[in-house]
């Protein structure tokens, strides 16, 4: 008697670029995958954990979309029904601007069992790896994570709301709209608020630009920074070693002098 294979989908967060930052559970899922559908921001080293699986690239990059979301959804279902266990390997965390929930629901509607393995999101890890805490006692009590561009191609209205707060503001997928984004902070009177742009976080190509609301767009263009990048706006950026008179030095000196 032929054994029936239960169609299964596991959404796996690959982390932010460094292949070592995937979770152990994510590695285990890859090892038992029959098919792996992976994104552009995923390190291909991770595919070595699934030597027997069929690998299908379904990457989407700014201005270079190779697959529409609807096509990816259909690929997930067809491969799961035809091959058993599909791992959908997504950069960062599948539920942080990763459309993972949409893919999960689509698969469930077609009778496919679904599992989720969270991943490390660039929204907090990219600043951390550059020595920038997204929250710190005395500096920031909270943080916003916002997409820079909506599905319609407009700047998110939440950015203007976040600019009025005292929170650290982290913007993903925002470099194409850097001028409009910074305008929201200028309107809120934040011209001199520190800003960092971190490109290719956790990879050998990682780069950072440090400035302020009033000049970060020029710095980004001068240094040729761009996607994929994380924009961090807030006083916490002053802890970075490249920031002039960084806050950490001021605090340490004040403690010593006391």
Second CATH level (architecture) for the domain 8-117 = 3-Layer(aba) Sandwich (3.40)
What is the tens place of the pLDDT at every residue in 107-116? 999 999 999 9
Residue 67's pLDDT band, with cuts at 50, 70 and 90, is confident
State mean pLDDT over 168-176: 96
Active-site annotation holder among 18, 93, 139, 173: 173
* pLDDT tens readout for residues 7-59: 999 999 999 999 999 999 999 999 999 999 999 989 999 999 999 999 999 98
Q: Among the options 25, 28, 55, 60, which is catalytic?
A: 60
Q: What is the mean pLDDT of residues 183-191?
A: 97
- Which residue intervals of the chain bear CATH 3.30.950.10? 122-239
Region of residue 212 (left: phi > 0; alpha: psi -120 to 50; beta: else): beta
DSSP string, 170-182: EEES-GGGHHHHH
Identify whether 39 is a catalytic site residue: yes
Looking only at the bridges linking them, the beta strands covering 54-57 and 35-38 are parallel
How far is the C-alpha of 152 from the C-alpha of 44, rounded, in Å?
30
Average pLDDT, the chain: 91
State how far the Cα of 185 lies from the Cα of 257, in Å rounded to an integer.
35
The model's confidence at residue 152, banded by pLDDT at 50, 70 and 90, is confident
d(CA 172, CA 242): 22
- What fold is seen in the domain 122-239? 3.30.950
**Which residue has 């409009």 as its token pair?**
180
Tokens standing for 17?
């670029």
Q: Give the total residue count for the chain.
A: 258
Crossing angle (nearest 10°) for helices 69-83 and 100-109: 50
Per the residue annotation, which of 39, 104, 139, 190 is the catalytic one?
A: 39
The CATH 3.40.1010.10 portion of the chain extends over 8-117
| Highest mean pLDDT (candidates 84-98, 147-161, 232-246) | 84-98
What is the predicted pLDDT for the residue at 151? 81
Residue 85's pLDDT band, with cuts at 50, 70 and 90, is: very high
Query: What's residue 257's pLDDT?
Result: 46
pLDDT in tens, 204-226: 999 999 999 999 999 999 999 99
């Amino acid at each position: 008697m032929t054994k029936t294979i239960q169609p299964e989908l596991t959404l796996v967060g690959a982390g932010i670029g460094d292949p070592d930052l995937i979770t152990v559970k994510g590695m285990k899922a890859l090892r038992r995958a029959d098919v792996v559908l992976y994104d552009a921001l995923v390190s291909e080293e991770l595919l070595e954990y699934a030597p027997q699986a069929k690998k299908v690239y379904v990457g989407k990059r700014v201005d270079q979309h190779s697959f529409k979301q609807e096509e990816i959804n259909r690929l997930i279902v067809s491969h799961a029904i035809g091959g058993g266990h599909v791992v959908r390997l997504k950069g960062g965390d599948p539920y942080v601007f990763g459309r993972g929930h949409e893919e999960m629901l689509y698969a469930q509607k077609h009778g496919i069992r679904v599992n989720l393995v969270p991943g490390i999101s660039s929204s907090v890890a990219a600043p951390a790896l550059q020595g920038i805490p997204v929250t710190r006692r005395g500096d920031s009590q909270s943080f916003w994570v916002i997409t820079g561009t909506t599905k319609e191609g407009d700047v998110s209205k939440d950015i203007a709301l976040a600019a009025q707060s005292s929170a650290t503001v982290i913007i993903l997928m925002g470099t194409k709209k850097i001028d409009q984004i910074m305008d929201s902070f200028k309107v809120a009177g934040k011209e001199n608020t520190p800003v960092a742009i971190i490109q290719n976080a956790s990879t050998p190509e990682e780069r950072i630009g440090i400035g302020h609301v009033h000049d970060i767009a020029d710095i980004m263009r001068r240094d040729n920074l761009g996607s994929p990048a994380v924009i961090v706006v807030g006083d916490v950026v002053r802890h970075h070693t490249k920031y002039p008179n960084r806050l950490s030095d001021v605090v340490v000196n004040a403690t010593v002098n006391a």
